[in-house]
Amino acid sequence: MGTNKKSILDLAKNRVVLFDGGMGSTIVSLGLPEGECPESWNLTHSEAIAKIHRKNLEAGADIIETNTFGANRLRLASFGYESRVEEINARAVQIAKKVCPEDRFVAGDVGPCGVFLKPVGKSSIDELEESFLEQAKALARAQVDLFSIETMYDLREAVAAIKAVRTVSDLPVFASMTFDKKSKGYLTMMGNTVSECAAELEKAGADVVGANCTLGSDGMIGLAEELRKGTDLPIIIQPNAGKPKLNEGKPFYSQDSESFAEDMKIIAEAGANFVGGCCGTTHEFTRAIHQRLFG
Ligand SMILES: [Zn+2]
């Protein structure tokens, strides 16, 4: 297992490594009806998903992320897909691997379960870990090259996801929290600081730690600097294309790819080893970052 394990982390020792753009927001822009499960497109719109991957690869992405952000049992249950966890994850990996060249990588994407832990919500950490374990098994069996745990707003949930992956795989694990900028600095929704998160994620077994979503690229410059000071691990930064605005109730992101790429160069210079985009970013953003970083 894990023939690529060394290479992706080794690659990052030599240069900045480029992740793709946001999957969920791209699917929405392609017409995912409101209230429909984005991961169901692995079953019904596999060519559309393949095209998103292909465009990102053509734009220079080193790593593409599977369309499995919400493909865990707890989240799929809200769409009636709870019995198809294995199938949805396996299909997503197949679609990505089919278009991914030998020298690029497929990251098994793992997002939050979409529930709140006790005492705020009803869920227990064991339920979450079980849900992640099932997804991690499916992704590992389908032979992803690495795991990308992302957009985590609760550090305890992120730790549960890392532990679940570590139970089934020794592949590289990326773990990324989402922070907002408060008067006290960058904090998760649950109030954890950047350095607290970095320390806990590392302890749980993450190989790379970072931040994604919520903030735009300019808002993540200071965060990248703080994270760089807070950990010795490689770091990953994936901002949104600015703060979302609403258009007829639907969020849209208005930042242009050039200003985004300019900020990503600053973020890379601040010590980010892996960069990419989250909500609102497309293959055009991937291309703009690639040009800015590698000319
Ligand atoms: Zn996002």
Q: What angle do CA 107, 2, 19 make, to 5 degrees?
A: 25
In the reported structure, the alpha carbon of residue 194 is separated from the centroid of ligand 1 by a whole-number distance in angstroms of 18
pLDDT at 6 > cutoff 80: no
> What is the reported pLDDT for 250?
76
Q: Dump pLDDT digits (tens) for 244-279.
A: 888 887 778 999 999 999 999 999 999 999 999 999
Lowest mean pLDDT across 65-74, 116-125, 137-146: 116-125
> How far away, in angstroms, is 261 Cα from ligand 1 center?
16
Distance 217 CA to ligand 1 centre (A): 12
Q: Tell me how many degrees the CA angle 154-108-228 measures, rounded to the nearest 5.
A: 55
3-state secondary structure the chain: CCCCHHHHHHHHHHCCEEECCCHHHHHHHCCCCCCCCHHHHHHHCHHHHHHHHHHHHHCCCCEEECCCCCCCHHHHHCCCCHHHHHHHHHHHHHHHHHHCCCCCEEEEEECCCCCCECCCCCECHHHHHHHHHHHHHHHHHCCCCEEEEEEECCHHHHHHHHHHHHHHCCCCEEEEECCEEECCEEECCCCCEHHHHHHHHHHHCCCEEEEEEEEECHHHHHHHHHHHHHCCCCEEEEEECCCCEEECCEEECCCCHHHHHHHHHHHHHCCCCEECCCCCCCHHHHHHHHHHHHC
In angstroms, what is the span from residue 31 Cα to ligand 1's centroid? 18
- Ligand 1 center to 201 CA (angstroms): 20
Which pLDDT score, from 0 to 100, does residue 2 have? 45
Nearest Cα neighbor of 71 from 147, 17, 124 is 147
Report CA(1)–ligand 1 centroid distance (Å).
30
Residues whose Cβ atom is located within 5 A of ion ligand 1: 213, 278-279
**Contact between 51 and 94 (Cβ < 8 Å):** no
Residue with the bigger pLDDT between 1 and 125: it is 125
pLDDT digits (tens, 9 = 90+) for 88-100: 999 999 999 999 9
Q: Does the model's pTM come out above 0.75? A: yes
Per-residue pLDDT, averaged over 192-201, amounts to 98
The pLDDT assigned to 251 comes to 77
Q: Give the distance (Å) from ligand 1 centre to CA of residue 213.
A: 4
Distance 179 CA to ligand 1 centre (A): 11
Q: What is the percent of the chain where pLDDT is above 90? A: 93
Instruction: Output the CA 151–ligand 1 centroid distance in Å.
Output: 7
Find the 20 Cα to ligand 1 centroid distance in Å.
12
- pLDDT tens sequence across 112-127: 999 999 999 999 999 9
Q: Which of 53-67, 135-149, 234-248, 273-287 has the lowest mean pLDDT?
A: 234-248
Query: Ligand 1: distance of its center to the CA of 150 in Å?
Result: 9
CB atoms within 10 A of CB 123: 17
| Ligand 1 center from residue 280 Cα (angstroms) | 7
**Residue 239 Cα to ligand 1 middle (Å):** 7
pLDDT band at 54, cuts 50/70/90? very high
Q: What is the pLDDT of residues 199-233, one digit of tens each?
A: 999 999 999 999 999 999 999 999 999 999 999 99
232 alpha carbon to ligand 1 midpoint, in Å?
Answer: 25
The string over 228-250, giving b where at least 16 C-beta atoms fall within 10 Å of a residue's C-beta and e elsewhere, is bebbebbbbbbbbbbebeeeeee
Distance 224 CA to ligand 1 centre (A): 16
CA dihedral 287, 290, 294, 295 (to 10 degrees): 30
Say if CB 174 and CB 8 are below 8 A apart: no
| Residues 6+ positions from 52 with CB-CB distance below 8 Å | 23, 26, 27, 67, 283
